[in-house]
Amino acid sequence: NDVQSTITTVTDQSTQLLSLVNSLVDSRLNSFFASSQSSSSQLASPVLPSTSQDNVLLSTIATSSSLSSQQDSTPTTNTPPMNSSSALINALLTANNGTLAMGNQNITLSSQPHLAGQNQNTFNFVNNCNNELPAIPAKILKQIKSGRRIQISLSRVLSLPVNCSQLCNGSLGHDLVGLLKDSLAPSTQATYMSGIRSYINFCDSHGLIPFPSSEALLCFFSVFSFNRGIACKTIKVYITGVLHQNSMLGSSLPLALMPILHRVIRGIRRRQGNSLTRRPRKPITTSHLRVISRFLLLCSHPTQDKYMLLAACLTAFFGLLRVSEFSCPSQSRYDPSIHLMKSDVTFNLNHSLMTIRIKGSKTDPFRQGVNIRIAATSNNICPVGAMRNYLALRSSKPGPLFQFHDGKLLTRRTLYALLEQSLPSVSDLNTHSFRIGGASAALSAGASDSMIRIMGRWSSDCYLRYLRVSDFDIQKFTANMAKISHVSSTWDPDKW
């Protein structure tokens, strides 16, 4: 009986509170707009005079925020008519970016469409004491701009209750922070930080608070990036980084619940078309490999370095390797649990086949590993022979597979410099051209789609983007098509 009586009392008080709020809004907004019709400048920053009744009501709203949030989370299907308060609130939202100042209190008027798909706007009155996160401190924003890793606050990320806050300072909290940091690869974190810094610079230049983010802010940031000539694909990566940082700071903003942002991105993509699409990278061919081989033999590098670079190029081409699978990002970022070591290469008894153990890759973030088998070609661009020659000169000590005579590691930058020096007349080549060239050569050699997918370890049809059909193959296929007098089967596009 006591519980039932308490529930009844709370319900009655809540009803009275909402009635008082509506009355206050109607009276205060009507008086404000009546007094501001003669001056358009006042509408640019509407501030209502404060009374003691305002402060009492705002304090009551603050203590009842949990109850109002539960009521707001209940989906409704009836669409009430727009009253005078709603109309005035709409005007305020448009004129003052959704913020109404009443005395010393800031009230945010947020308009959110119902998930049920109704054309209804629900206005939530929330003051500074609600469950929304406050603005991110300037210290954290400075860390983001400088590119440093941000200290994760578990109390913000998890919204822990008071009686569980001691978990953050123990070993469990320390381990949890480490797992959160390791949820993304270092390269992904660096890409996200680039987008986050661009987003914060945009907010600073317009006097906006970057976090917690909102759909409106992300829409304007997308337009800002579009006007700067940034490609749509890059803008999408930037937004993903901002949303990730938003969640790490304790404010979840699901991308699926932002339909306007999706349409803005789609509009950017339609506007840009292919104007900002980078030119397709050319494949490295066997002719290029022979030129690289001759260049290395004639250059003044130490013998071990020559054979090491040649073995790396031939292995990448015939193994359809990604550059991250056989080289290091920098001299200081070698990880033996990911990058190739000398012990990862083995040969069969007659040295006609070598096996390379790839311990981790772009499509294998959980490091299950895969074995790459490469056969000997018995010519001057044989990957097995080049690897054996290099290992015969290399020190027998365990360590990174591809390293120079002075112990320095093979990096992406070194490979790119080799391509520029050995093939100066060939444009649009980069380190990924080895993988593209290997897949294209396999296609020209008659390999099936399934074989190319297995060789390149593609889990989807994205490998088709890497295939380049030569003019010779087109001429050969066209001549063969002209000889066909009877079609034995019909091509079905639905099965492609």
Strands 121-126 and 345-347: unpaired
pLDDT in tens, 290-349: 999 999 988 888 899 999 999 999 999 888 898 888 888 888 888 888 888 998 999 988
Q: Give me the DSSP letters along 11-64.
A: HHHHHHHHHHHHHHHHHHHHHHHHHHTT-SGGGGS-EEPP-HHHHHHHHHHHHT
128: pLDDT strictly greater than 60: no
Containing 109, the helix (H) or strand (E) segment is strand 105-113
24 band by pLDDT with thresholds 50, 70 and 90: low
pLDDT of 131 reads 33
Q: Residue 130 in contact with residue 155, Cβ under 8 Å?
A: no
- Look at residue 84 and give its three-state secondary structure: helix
23: pLDDT strictly greater than 70: no
Among 99, 19, 103, CA closest to 54: 103
Higher-scoring residue by pLDDT: 80, 151: 151
Mind listing the domains of the chain with CATH numbers? 182-272 (1.10.150.130), 286-476 (1.10.443.10)
Among 29-33, 110-114, 271-275, whose mean pLDDT is lowest?
Answer: 110-114
Long-range own/partner contacts, residues 457-466 (CB < 8 A, 24 or more apart): 457/320, 457/358, 457/361, 457/363, 457/370, 458/363, 459/363, 463/439, 466/435, 466/436, 466/439, 466/440
Among 15-29, 36-50, 207-221, 357-371, whose mean pLDDT is lowest?
Answer: 36-50
Q: For residues 458 and 447, what is the distance between their CA atoms, to the nearest angstrom? A: 15
108 band by pLDDT with thresholds 50, 70 and 90: very low
Q: Residue 246 in contact with residue 252, Cβ under 8 Å?
A: yes
Q: Residue 211 in contact with residue 203, Cβ under 8 Å?
A: no
pLDDT of 246 reads 83
What's the maximum distance between 2 C-alpha atoms anywhere in the chain? 97
Which range of 88-92, 105-109, 361-365 scores highest in mean pLDDT? It is: 361-365
Mean pLDDT, residues 368-384: 85
Mean pLDDT of the chain, nearest integer: 70
Q: Residue 280 in contact with residue 428, Cβ under 8 Å?
A: yes
71: pLDDT strictly greater than 80: no
Q: Residue 302 in contact with residue 309, Cβ under 8 Å?
A: no
- pTM metric for this prediction: 0.54
Q: Residue 276 in contact with residue 235, Cβ under 8 Å?
A: no
Q: For residues 22 and 174, what is the distance between their CA atoms, to the nearest angstrom? A: 47
Q: In this structure, is the dihedral angle defined by the CA atoms of residues 197, 203, 209 and 215, taken in order, positive or negative?
A: negative
In 355-448, alpha helices (H): 383-393, 412-422, 433-444
Q: What angle do CA 199, 186, 402 make, to 5 degrees?
A: 140
Mean pLDDT, residues 71-88: 41
**Edge-to-edge strand list for the sheet holding 121-126:** 47-48, 99-102, 105-113, 121-126
pLDDT in tens, 259-275: 889 899 999 988 887 76
Mean pLDDT, residues 1-22: 69
DSSP state of 341: B
